Structure 1
Amino acid sequence: MKQPDILLFMSDQHGADYCSWGDVKVDTPTLDAIRKTGTVFENTYTSCPLCVPARISFMSSKLPSDTGCYGNQDALPDITPCFTHALVAAGYETVLAGRMHFVGEDQRHGFTKRIAPDITPVSWTVPKEKMAQERGNLMGCQGEPFCLNYVGAGESPVMNYDKMVIEQVLEYLEEPHEKPQFILVGTYGPHFPYITSKEMYLKYYDRVEKPSFYEPEEIPEYLQDFELQSSRMRGEEARWKVTRGARAAYCGLVEIMDSQIGKVKKAFEKYTERHGTEGIFGYCSDHGDTLGERRMFGKQTYYEKSAKIPFLLTGSGVPANKQIQALTSIMDIGPTICELAGTEYTFGEGRSLLPYFAGEEDGERIVVSQFVEKYKGESYASMMLRYKNYKYISYHHYENKDMLFNLKEDPKEGHNCITEKPEVVEYLKNERRKLISFDEMEKQRADHGKRAQLFIAVEKNTGINDEERWKDNPPEARGELEIAAASEPIVPGSRIMRI
């Protein structure tokens, strides 16, 4: 029996609640169809609410505390096994089409080929001058806290990059290939800048509503005197006109992404039909976007909009019209794909979810997310533990601000019930301590930062290898908006980028 061909479409910054069946309604007909023909994992969480550490965790099935990677200037050692290595060992050709945000000389990590470049820097040194030329006024808008500087309708690097990636994938699927294929399609949308097409922008501008806890009087009590969190809240720059525009643009990007998934899925089905093979198609993202809730934007928090991600599968061996409510992790995706491919990957904490298809779910499982953020020059480790109906969140040096949410009774996370469930809190505190200490997490981030600075110094003297970074953003996609909810020029290089 032939091994199945497998294609996984992985977007960037798409929260699970932004879809036709989610909390924020977006037209996603392709994902709707996958939901009906396949299986959706309704409670999948990222292992870190930031791109690089989440993707490193996805590849290795290891928590950030096991990889030591918490920032966007971290890299996975090339001797760390990834699920892609297991697929290659089983006879697969592993193809990376587009984004994965690998940093450093190793741009493969088990992928045998790459057919489209990445949009973000692939070197330790960010080529700021080059990127400022290529991105124009949108240079800083790909990251926090400047994502609200340009908001509206027009062209953007995100849309042009994703168009290129999809074109490369469609061409590749027209070609014959001897080996069984695992293809990862990595796009950048709906990552900010919050810019979409005029058609999509106008459609969702009329539809979007104010986010939860947006008005000052609605801000939850648990954020009072919690500087590490409240510092993320936006003031006048997040006035309703801008927030409304950001939400409209984001929803428009999600619908555009859904149509791209549809094109790729159709081409993949034709490919497997021509080759006479079974096919498995999946979709996931790396983390979400709070998009104005609590007046916060982007990721780097553990609230549902930021930490909960979509994960859907359809095809050979996948049950149809099945919704799995059990808690799952981004670290489970690789082992699940490997078992569907007829092999296994057992090096990390992730697990294959195939037993869940038959109802063998682990009701006692704890799903973990970790992060170490920088604030005023200091590092602050944090952790989220999701258990049954509960989500426990703790930040180093702010343990008096620990949070516990009962998501069954309070899905929007408005009420911190930390004092009402002492037995749950004590259990989850103990489980957190078993994983790693906050001091050790902060040391790991500091160690990685020192290594990165050394590699940057090396590149300063040898030059950077920028070959696998996308450089073709057209002039019309550099800040000229048809409709502007916000338009504030940025002097390239004058602010810190946090892509």
Structure 2
Amino acid sequence: MSKQPNILFVMADQVNSAFLPAYGHPVVKMPHLDKIAAEGVVFDTAYCAYPICGPSRFSMLTGRLASEVGVFDHGCEMRASTPTVMHYLRQRGYHTALSGKMHFLGPDQLHGYEERLTTDIYPSDFGWGADWRAGTPEIPWAPSGISPRTVLEAGPCARSLQLDYDEDVAHRAVQKIYDLARRPQSQPFFLTVSFSQPHSPFVAGREYWDRYDHDDIDMPKVPPLSLEEMDAHSRRLHHMFHIDEYTVAEADVRNARHAYYGMLSYIDDKIGELTAALEDTGLLEETLIVFTSDHGEMMGERGLWYKQSLLEGSVRVPLIVRVPGQAGSGGRHVPQPVSLLDLLPTLVEFASDETPIDYVEPIVGHSLLPLLSAGDGDWDHSVFSEYSGEGTYAPGLMVRKGKYKYTYCETDPALLFDLKTDPDELKNLADDDAYAIVLADMHDELLRVWDPEQYRRDALASQKRQWFIQGVLAKTTPNPWDFQPFTSAKDQYVRGGANTTSVKGQARFPYVAPAEPDKPRTE
């Protein structure tokens, strides 16, 4: 590209890539995202680096594992001094803005964004962290409200908290695209648009529910497993989610999936609004578009819901990239395993015009540019993911290399799967002597990245700090950190002292120069 591209970075929350039509799902309807995929590159095997909202986002924005930046669970803040992709892009002349959720905790609610267009849908305090001191080995402590209730209560609605929020996110993002197009200077922008849906509760707007025939909704490939068939972490999640206390019938599962599909179609319509604004302003072919999610959703597979595990349904995410000017050569699928950690170096490289990049701290991710340009023959990077939130008492650590996936937790039996022959992770090879060398190699790769014992100590110390602070704040002053966006009407509309005609003319896009008189004025 001859100049730095604008970047539109779109996130939906809790999207399992297996449910997108671009990944082969036969029922879900997302024509706008399908168009982006047909003109871009689809990464078939993309992973998040931590299967829960906040830590996943922080790792993605830094190109480093969450534990490396001191984030161990959903109640940890990221230090304000941690470099993010926004800082690197601003260094290269970009304007950075966020519309939507990002789960920033603590006093820094920007982390490199120059402006936020909305508040967050969730609080910014430390109250959602793990507490390994609570619960029992069989039934871990969990934040209040985690249960199959959202499955049993799934269905259509006229309005919901998430619809209210996502409408605001989309409206402000579209308005921002027009505002950016009106600027006289040609500064590139990085606009993040981060939606709350299709995160549970599974409640879809009536219009989107009605887009699907209920009988067409497919059911889980893998039925509920017995406790004996489950791995140790899945058993803990089963108890933590109180699954055995509720009767979840086939009709409930179908309702939840129906709502999830409707929510995906809603997100697709919002993607269509964003791309229409880019096209309307002439910015589409100057803008790199990235679509992804923070983590997956089990959606009833194996009898599990939500995320919080290192199973494929929880850690696999969509990743679709449309490069401006390359729509004619799009529609390509990349099979190699990649990570959301790879996004930071990819975006910074797009913004750098081949100038050397000096990262302040070592990053884990690798630029995806070779894969985007089809030069993928030498790609052989391992993918890493971690989990140390509720539902466990020691960090769960995952390595994906080639066709093998290895998961280690010091309290649990090891897991090793050949995902080429066993994509549903039903046959654990860790105790098979024929795979002893593979297991040893994967464990060595894991130890190259983590010290499990030190990780556990650090996570416990972090929990102790955050729960102490949270308890003090809860008893004294309310949380002062929740972000409140400020908008000035004088920057949008006519206010005193301004020339009405001039303000209206400047708001018109495309801009039309004022008509000048061509006749002499008569006295």
What's the TM-score, normalizing by structure 2?
A: 0.80
In structure 1, the partner of 2:107 is 105
In structure 1, the partner of 2:250 is 240
Deviation of the 1:212 alpha carbon: 2.6
Distance change (3 Å), C-alpha of 1:245 and 1:89: same
In structure 1, the partner of 2:302 is 294
Indicate the structure with greater strand content.
1
State the AA in 1 paired with 2:178: E
Equivalent of 2:220 in 211, 220, 224? 211
1:168 aligned onto 2:177: no
Q: How does 1:93-492 map to 2 (within 5 A)?
A: 93-124=95-126, 143=146, 146-148=149-151, 150-154=153-157, 155-175=159-179, 176-177=182-183, 178=185, 179-202=187-210, 203=212, 205-215=214-224, 221-223=229-231, 227-228=235-236, 230-231=238-239, 234-235=243-244, 236-273=246-283, 278-316=286-324, 320-342=330-352, 344=357, 346=359, 347=361, 348-356=363-371, 357-375=373-391, 379-398=393-412, 401-418=413-430, 419=432, 420-456=434-470, 457-458=472-473, 460-465=475-480, 467-468=482-483
What is the CA–CA distance in structure 2 between the aligned matches of 1:293 and 1:383, rounded to whole Å? 21
1:156–1:193: 8 Å Cα contact kept in structure 2?
Answer: no
What is the CA–CA distance in structure 2 between the aligned matches of 1:196 and 1:144, rounded to whole Å? 19
Distance change (3 Å), C-alpha of 1:173 and 1:149: same
Instruction: Spell out, residue by residue over 1:106-139, the C-alpha distance to the aligned partner (whole angstroms, 9 max, x if none).
Output: 011111111111101123358xxxxxxxxxxxx9
Deviation of the 1:461 alpha carbon: 3.3
What is the CA–CA distance in structure 2 between the aligned matches of 1:257 and 1:289, rounded to whole Å? 16
Greater relative contact order (Cα < 8 A, sep 6+): 1
What is the CA–CA distance in structure 2 between the aligned matches of 1:462 and 1:230, rounded to whole Å? 36
What is the CA–CA distance in structure 2 between the aligned matches of 1:216 and 1:125, rounded to whole Å? 32
1:381–1:441: 8 Å Cα contact kept in structure 2?
Answer: yes
2:104–2:124: 8 Å Cα contact kept in structure 1?
Answer: yes
In structure 2, the partner of 1:45 is 47
1:38–1:313: 8 Å Cα contact kept in structure 2?
Answer: yes
Which structure has the larger Rg? 2
Gap runs ≥5 in structure 2:
129-142, 486-523
Deviation of the 1:195 alpha carbon: 0.5
State the AA in 1 paired with 2:231: L
- Count of residue pairs the alignment pairs up: 450
What is the CA–CA distance in structure 2 between the aligned matches of 1:64 and 1:170, rounded to whole Å? 31
Instruction: Spell out, residue by residue over 1:72-124, the C-alpha distance to the aligned partner (whole angstroms, 9 max, x if none).
Output: 11111011111110100111110011111101110111111111111011233
Query: Tell me, what secondary structure is at the counterpart of 1:17?
Result: helix
What is the CA–CA distance in structure 1 between the aligned matches of 2:448 and 2:71, rounded to whole Å? 19
What's the TM-score, normalizing by structure 1?
A: 0.84
Instruction: Spell out, residue by residue over 1:397-438, the C-alpha distance to the aligned partner (whole angstroms, 9 max, x if none).
Output: 11xx22222111122222222214222111101111222232
Deviation of the 1:199 alpha carbon: 4.0
Instruction: Spell out, residue by residue over 1:307-328, the C-alpha distance to the aligned partner (whole angstroms, 9 max, x if none).
Output: 1111111132655222111111
1:56–1:75: 8 Å Cα contact kept in structure 2?
Answer: no
1:335–1:345: 8 Å Cα contact kept in structure 2?
Answer: no
What is the CA–CA distance in structure 2 between the aligned matches of 1:110 and 1:311, rounded to whole Å? 23
What is the CA–CA distance in structure 1 between the aligned matches of 2:376 and 2:218, rounded to whole Å? 39
Q: RMSD of the TM alignment (CA)?
A: 2.6
Instruction: Spell out, residue by residue over 1:186-224, the C-alpha distance to the aligned partner (whole angstroms, 9 max, x if none).
Output: 11111011110234335153222221332457x883538
State the AA in 2 paired with 1:153: P
1:7 aligned onto 2:39: no
Distance change (3 Å), C-alpha of 1:190 and 1:162: same
2:32–2:271: 8 Å Cα contact kept in structure 1?
Answer: yes
1:363–1:388: 8 Å Cα contact kept in structure 2?
Answer: no
Percent identical residues: 27
State the AA in 1 paired with 2:444: N
